[in-house]
C-alpha cells in the first residue's frame, strides 16, 4: 500500500469516527450519517489498497 493512500485511509477513518460520535452525542442525525459514510470510505480505501498489495506479491 502506498504511504499516501494508507495515510488517507487512516485519516478518513479517524475523522469520520470522530464526527460520527460527536454528532451522535449532539443528536445531529444527518451529520452522524455523513461521519459514518466518511469512516466507511476510509475503511474501503484501506481494504482496496491491501488487496492490491496482496495481488502484487
Helix axes 29-56, 3-25, angle to 10 degrees: 160
Tally the residues of the chain. 57
pLDDT at 1: 60
Q: Is the pLDDT of residue 31 over 70?
A: yes
Grid cell locating 3: 504511504
Grid cell locating 4: 499516501
Q: How confident is the model at residue 38 (pLDDT cuts 50, 70, 90)?
A: very high
More confident: 22 or 2 = 22
Cα 4 to chain center, whole Å?
A: 14
Rounded Cα gap, residues 31 and 28, in angstroms:
6
In degrees and rounded to multiples of 5, residue 2 shows phi and psi of -70, 150
> Is the full-model pTM beyond 0.95?
no
Amino acid at each position: 500500500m502506498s504511504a499516501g493512500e494508507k495515510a488517507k485511509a487512516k485519516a478518513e477513518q479517524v475523522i469520520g469516527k470522530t464526527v460520527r460520535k460527536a454528532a451522535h452525542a449532539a443528536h445531529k442525525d444527518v451529520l452522524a450519517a455523513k461521519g459514518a459514510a466518511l469512516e466507511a470510505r476510509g475503511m474501503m480505501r484501506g481494504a482496496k489498497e491491501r488487496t492490491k498489495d496482496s495481488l502484487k506479491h
